[in-house]
Amino acid sequence: MAAEPAAPNGLEVDFLASSARALADPQLRRNFRRAMDGLMAKRAAVFPDPSEWTRLRALGGAIRAKNLLKLPDLLERLEKNLTKNGITVHWASTTAQANQVVLELLEARGVKALVKGKSMVSEEMGLNHFLGAHGVESLESDLGEYIIQLDGEMPSHIIMPAIHKNKDQIARTFSEKIRNAKYTEEVDELTAMARAVLRQKFFEAGAGLSGVNFAVADTGTLCLVENEGNGRMSTHVPPLHIALMGLEKVVERLDEVAPLYSLLTRSATGQAISTYLNLISGPRSGGERDGPREVHLVILDNGRSRIFQDPELRATLACIRCGACMNHCPVYTRIGGHAYEAVYPGPIGSILTPQQEGAGLWHELPHASSLCGACAEVCPVGIPIPHLLIRLRREAGHRVPGSTVLGAGSARSRLEDLAWSVWGWVLGHPAAYRLASWCATRCWRLLPSRAPVLEAWTRSRHKPRMAGASLQERLRRSGVPDA
């Protein structure tokens, strides 16, 4: 069993309390319901042919599985070819190391302002906060990220970070937080306000930062999928471009990107293709008039190589971050992303976060599922999410010899352990078993409906009803002899 690190910054997580708060917020629930219904309908419309979906998904899953099998080799090849293309590669085992790499790159060039395209890895790193503490302004340029940055919030969805807000709420934020902004609920006017602020920042910033959707090992190409053009601006206008990626994002060949890209855009937003697909193969060369003068890639591990060691849990790393599992999850659609209190919410977060940050601290997340299987059904690369949820539930709460899960067994309950030991002993002793069933069938009525020990169960369910006699007694009464 791998030891679990202490919670970062004394972080305390309480999924039950935060989800109860979310459920009590009718506006939040309306916002999510409307948004998720829309996303589900759009996705269904772009996968009209089930056989095409099945074939494409099998191809996408096979590509990701093959790439993960060859991961160490592909990462070496990627570094070699990126370097050949003039892109400098940095490796970071932890988020602290990755933050330090970014800071040193900025400090060495005297950069005090950074514009950011969307990057979930930067959320993992808490990069904005870290840079702010070191005197560097880091401005989100993705519209959704910009909105939540104004409000000091975390993303509530990996593709649409401000999906928890409606138009009125965004209008209020803009009128309060953007200088000289008037109150308007017109989407075009709101977008124009954000654009007016951001456009100027692209030209003033000393560096731009982006995520990476796929990194192609054979060609040394970074692929960036986006709709707003802010990714292209962040990566092309400032003189320095820093890209961040988790080490699992590597694919072997450029032709493998096409099916994954199609699965990603269709599953994420119901688009056949996104507005922009940026293929970055190096800094500006001699005769070129635009593009950054330097490109750096930071490859982050942060627990991924440990996940990679387990042949079953490795499937988690196949994720292409489309968000479809969230959009279709009956839990996520009711409580929204913030209730998970994690960088990655929804079904993918419920399998990824406990593995990255420890099953002790995050042991409630694998239980945040009805196990209906909708997430696995829509996952474009076929990750068996419910199966992995069940495994993480078991290994968080029990000592499983040889478990590779970080903090396995650290959510054990002594009371539960005792109950199972007693139950095991009773099952092994027929006389005790007969006595226990006799007592249970006669005495269950004496249990108060709201006994504290049963409260978590009976709060939303009826107290269990026992039969009037045990099966053995009933068989005996019907003349069946004891075995």
Q: Which residues bind ligand SF4 (CB under 6 A)?
A: 267, 319-325, 348, 378-381, 383
DSSP string across 268-292: HHS-SS-SEEEEE-SSPPTT-SSS-
CB of 365 to ligand SF4, least distance (A): 14
CB of 378 to ligand SF4, least distance (A): 6
CB of 256 to ligand SF4, least distance (A): 15
Token output for 240: 């320095």
Residue with tokens 């009371």: 415
238/349 with CB nearer ligand SF4: 349
76/377 with CB nearer ligand SF4: 377
Q: Could you tell me where the DSSP H helices lie in 336-384?
A: 346-357, 374-378
Residues 6+ apart with CB under 8 A from 461: none
CB of 70 to ligand SF4, least distance (A): 19
CB of 320 to ligand SF4, least distance (A): 5
CB of 264 to ligand SF4, least distance (A): 8
What's the rounded Cα separation, in Å, for the pair 211 and 281?
Answer: 15
102/329 with CB nearer ligand SF4: 329
Nearest residue to 15 (alpha-carbon basis) of 303, 369, 321, 313: 369
Name the helix (H) or strand (E) containing 60. Answer: helix 50-69
Side by side, the strands of the sheet bearing 221-226 are: 250-251, 214-216, 221-226, 276-280
243/383 with CB nearer ligand SF4: 383
Residues 6+ apart with CB under 8 A from 39: 269, 270, 327
Other Cβ atoms closer than 10 A to 165: 22
Token output for 428: 């092994």
CB of 139 to ligand SF4, least distance (A): 26
- Pairing mode of beta strands 137-140, 113-116: parallel
161/397 with CB nearer ligand SF4: 161
Burial track 137-151 (b if 16+ CB lie within 10 A, e otherwise)? ebbbbbbbbbbbbbe
What's the rounded Cα separation, in Å, for the pair 162 and 168?
Answer: 13
CB of 269 to ligand SF4, least distance (A): 12
57/232 with CB nearer ligand SF4: 57
43/165 with CB nearer ligand SF4: 43
CB of 313 to ligand SF4, least distance (A): 13
What's the rounded Cα separation, in Å, for the pair 71 and 137?
Answer: 35
380/409 with CB nearer ligand SF4: 380
361/378 with CB nearer ligand SF4: 378
Nearest residue to 202 (alpha-carbon basis) of 118, 141, 280: 141
CB of 212 to ligand SF4, least distance (A): 15
What one-character DSSP code corresponds to residue 10?
G
**Strand locations in 18-163, DSSP E?**
87-92, 113-116, 137-140
CB of 346 to ligand SF4, least distance (A): 7
220/323 with CB nearer ligand SF4: 323
374/405 with CB nearer ligand SF4: 374
CB of 161 to ligand SF4, least distance (A): 14
257, 66 contact by CB (below 8 A): no
How big is the chain, counted in residues?
483
What's the rounded Cα separation, in Å, for the pair 394 and 405?
Answer: 11
170/317 with CB nearer ligand SF4: 317
CB of 65 to ligand SF4, least distance (A): 13
Residue with tokens 């269709």: 266
Give 135's Cβ-side CA count (13 Å radius).
6
Name the helix (H) or strand (E) containing 226. Answer: strand 221-226
What's the rounded Cα separation, in Å, for the pair 187 and 271?
Answer: 20
Token output for 184: 């308007």
336/380 with CB nearer ligand SF4: 380
